[in-house]
Structure 1
């Protein structure tokens, strides 16, 4: 699969920038001269298809009317992305207006009908990526089109993102229950659709009155990527996944209100990402996940959440090589431990500890170096947001207290650590001391990357000057880090 034909959600940022630059240099069809059209038309089909693969579905249809040379090409594309955003006004108002959604869905349905027309297709579609709003009026026709394409052998893999215009904060349980009912009805009416789904993204769906496991893991037998944004089976509910035949590789949870998620069996799962949970204790438990290699946990602990032992959460995992822990500037939700982590950390190669409140001690993170003797890359991010005012936190988050991990690190060494990345670096003595302590424990450390603090859009309004070392200060900072003893490469990334 080339970058040109790859769906946008699978492209890297560099690839997207490259494609944007390439396509932006192409003038609109109505502005091209006859000579330009002729030169393009002389290209071979594979090159023209590569060009079309860089465009959104709306532009592909428009481009196909350039000449008879181009007319058949859209129906030769092996991969299609039909995104509702391409049919909305640009710029689009926020929130999206009802009439804009209806008009966009009319256009999207028309485009889907055109691309899936059997009489025009000259080859099968290897992958269809469809992103739309859940509106019954249109879902019936789209469901029929996809079903017929699957049953006729025209469509192999199907990717579906069901969007919701409602802000999650304004979405009631009644709304979420209704969306679950509509999704279940859609899958039941067109069973061929979930059977060929390989990628599914849902927003604001409450499966409290339905069997969530049946809908997502028994109906969607080919599913490899599942993304759930504010989806659950009810507030503080237990959800257990036991799917030994599942092909799921990537599970993403964002603001899902499970009281606890138990992954009893997902043999193909390679990556799990959970951003914000509501559990009072350990939010996640693993059973059989032999392929799990990447785990991302991100949450700003609220008042009624208790800290837990990371070793308890990781129990049952044996192959994790990349771990991200993001505390989002709030209190730590992990309890002090070191030896208990050794089993789960035995294959760990990359560790990111993010969102450490700026007033917290950071030396406690050295415990992870002891528990992970094969660690090669360590990233530390300090959280300091000017917009993070105490009055915005009152009543929601716990009091922030610096961690106290009283541990004997002795003379432990990490011989594999090659790179340290420090995000939010400032010329503070405690940060110099921390970096030098890492150098002392890691004799093979080759590179230190110092990055400017990461701030949000709200921080920009405060116009607070950065404390990151200026150009004329960087040699002095590097000298203080090396301390005449060490010799790592030091990179300032501002």
Structure 2
């Protein structure tokens, strides 16, 4: 196509390419392009995937108190944008809608009918809905969470059609009764595949029991949801479960019928009263492919095991053990590899963050750090490891880490790649004036950033190893 005088190169692109570009910017930017020229005027209204977020209409990052003053104005603009885009529904074919909004004032009474009509006529074929909290989770009290629950419940009851095409739902700061939670999330949202809950619970550390044999849910994510226990009794299509920040006094999970579960992520800052649990008991009859355990440095919150883990780990391909305290021995992690000889990728992340809390507060909350007492020599599976790649984040050439790495290299004959990475800088540690790692560790135990130091580490690791074929990479 020949470029005419005064025509920009972007305008020469075909509609599908321009729409692909517009799909990567927020809705306000996409809408503004319609005034560039006649060539662009119709394009924003041809988007097949539409994302409208209330925060795009806020005047920038705001404090909790200041943001409340702008939420009303943001929702007014969001409502106007939804009305404008959905009013041209005859130009759409099977729109995928991603919507993030606040349920404040009477805006839901305008948005609800607009969405219901668009869903009814087939304009919207599936939707991703996020109902945001007006406050950050740490600033919410029970009254705030009850009010949010009332707003969510009222919106869904008034506009039941909105639930019919929900494939993804995110809720923030909601206090449900167990019955109401299950009714909305599983009885009404029949197409729901991805559920994200942040600071949502059933009150009083009560257990949340999920029995939804007809559910299409594939992914369940919980972020700082303080439940007494999560009992997944029946979710036939669940593949991924992530619980970030559980604080249960006992084992956080139990499973019933979850034949498709393949990925599990657990993060816990275990308090002083927590005695740990046996992972094999939680994973009874489960065959995972991807397991991530994040300890936040304080405790391992797992009771020592060995061969009991073999059934649950028989299909494991990737294992990640994150946020292990810097001074903890790492040899105990070999128990996991011995129980999971099929693991091909093994990630270890070392934890050291003075910013987490003061030593006094940490002692009151978590008690004394106790080094792992898992005994590697008490358990051997006798099977060949399939391990191909190991990555250690927060590496330093201290004796216990070097001993651990050499033990892995000697045992894993299939190992081909070893990635050693430094700690990522922590802005919060710097903000409180915590001493940088370089001032807390001897120079000989710092991450080697120059070639001479890296060559020395490699030499130490492969010492007395004949025919070592491991590619040792130093990352950032």
TM-score (norm 1): 0.89
Q: CA deviation at 1:96?
A: 4.4
- Counterpart in 2 of 1:331? 299
Give the counterpart of 2:436 among 456, 460, 464.
464
Partner-residue secondary structure (3-state), 2:364: coil
Cα distance 1:354–1:209, how it changes in 2: closer, same or farther (>3 A)?
Answer: closer
In the alignment of these two chains, the number of paired residues is: 459
Asked whether the equivalents of residues 270 and 299 of structure 2 are also in contact (C-alpha less than 8 Å), the reply is: yes
Give the counterpart of 2:99 among 130, 133, 151.
130
- Counterpart in 2 of 1:100? 70
Cα distance 1:419–1:340, how it changes in 2: closer, same or farther (>3 A)?
Answer: same
Q: CA deviation at 1:167?
A: 2.3
- Counterpart in 2 of 1:363? 331
Q: Which piece of structure 1 moves more, 213-222 or 121-130?
A: 121-130
Q: Does 1:376 align with 2:347?
A: no
Asked whether the equivalents of residues 425 and 468 of structure 1 are also in contact (C-alpha less than 8 Å), the reply is: yes
Q: CA deviation at 1:463?
A: 5.2
Cα distance 1:340–1:96, how it changes in 2: closer, same or farther (>3 A)?
Answer: farther
- Counterpart in 2 of 1:488? 470
Q: Which piece of structure 1 moves more, 440-449 or 97-106?
A: 97-106
Give the counterpart of 1:47 among 7, 11, 17.
17
- Counterpart in 2 of 1:116? 86
Cα distance 1:267–1:134, how it changes in 2: closer, same or farther (>3 A)?
Answer: same
Q: CA deviation at 1:311?
A: 0.5
Give the counterpart of 1:292 among 261, 269, 274.
261
Distance in structure 1 (CA, Å) of the matches to 2:462 and 2:369: 33
Deviations 1:77-113 (A, max 9, x none): 1110001121111354455422211111111111011
Distance in structure 1 (CA, Å) of the matches to 2:302 and 2:178: 34
Cα distance 1:284–1:455, how it changes in 2: closer, same or farther (>3 A)?
Answer: farther
Gaps of 5+ in 1: 1-33
Q: How does 1:442-461 map to 2 (within 5 A)?
A: 442-461=412-431
Cα distance 1:76–1:38, how it changes in 2: closer, same or farther (>3 A)?
Answer: same
Q: Which piece of structure 1 moves more, 350-359 or 200-209?
A: 200-209
Gaps of 5+ in 2: 439-445
- Counterpart in 1 of 2:406? 436
Q: How does 1:179-198 map to 2 (within 5 A)?
A: 179-198=148-167
TM-score (norm 2): 0.92
Cα distance 1:292–1:95, how it changes in 2: closer, same or farther (>3 A)?
Answer: farther
Give the counterpart of 1:159 among 128, 144, 166.
128
Asked whether the equivalents of residues 380 and 422 of structure 1 are also in contact (C-alpha less than 8 Å), the reply is: yes
Q: Does 1:65 align with 2:35?
A: yes
Cα distance 1:170–1:194, how it changes in 2: closer, same or farther (>3 A)?
Answer: same
Distance in structure 2 (CA, Å) of the matches to 1:353 and 1:248: 26
- Counterpart in 2 of 1:390? 359
- Counterpart in 2 of 1:347? 315
Give the counterpart of 1:267 among 226, 236, 243.
236
Asked whether the equivalents of residues 56 and 81 of structure 1 are also in contact (C-alpha less than 8 Å), the reply is: yes
Distance in structure 1 (CA, Å) of the matches to 2:320 and 2:260: 20
Partner-residue secondary structure (3-state), 1:247: coil
Asked whether the equivalents of residues 345 and 388 of structure 2 are also in contact (C-alpha less than 8 Å), the reply is: yes
Cα distance 1:123–1:73, how it changes in 2: closer, same or farther (>3 A)?
Answer: same
Q: CA deviation at 1:413?
A: 5.0
Distance in structure 2 (CA, Å) of the matches to 1:121 and 1:85: 28
Partner-residue secondary structure (3-state), 2:220: strand
Cα distance 1:161–1:304, how it changes in 2: closer, same or farther (>3 A)?
Answer: same
Q: CA deviation at 1:38?
A: 4.8
- Counterpart in 1 of 2:442? none
Asked whether the equivalents of residues 324 and 354 of structure 1 are also in contact (C-alpha less than 8 Å), the reply is: yes
Distance in structure 2 (CA, Å) of the matches to 1:280 and 1:172: 21
Distance in structure 2 (CA, Å) of the matches to 1:177 and 1:480: 59
- Counterpart in 1 of 2:196? 227
Asked whether the equivalents of residues 64 and 72 of structure 1 are also in contact (C-alpha less than 8 Å), the reply is: yes
Cα distance 1:288–1:41, how it changes in 2: closer, same or farther (>3 A)?
Answer: same
Distance in structure 2 (CA, Å) of the matches to 1:48 and 1:444: 47
Asked whether the equivalents of residues 375 and 414 of structure 1 are also in contact (C-alpha less than 8 Å), the reply is: no
Partner-residue secondary structure (3-state), 1:353: strand
Cα distance 1:181–1:381, how it changes in 2: closer, same or farther (>3 A)?
Answer: same
Distance in structure 2 (CA, Å) of the matches to 1:411 and 1:63: 62
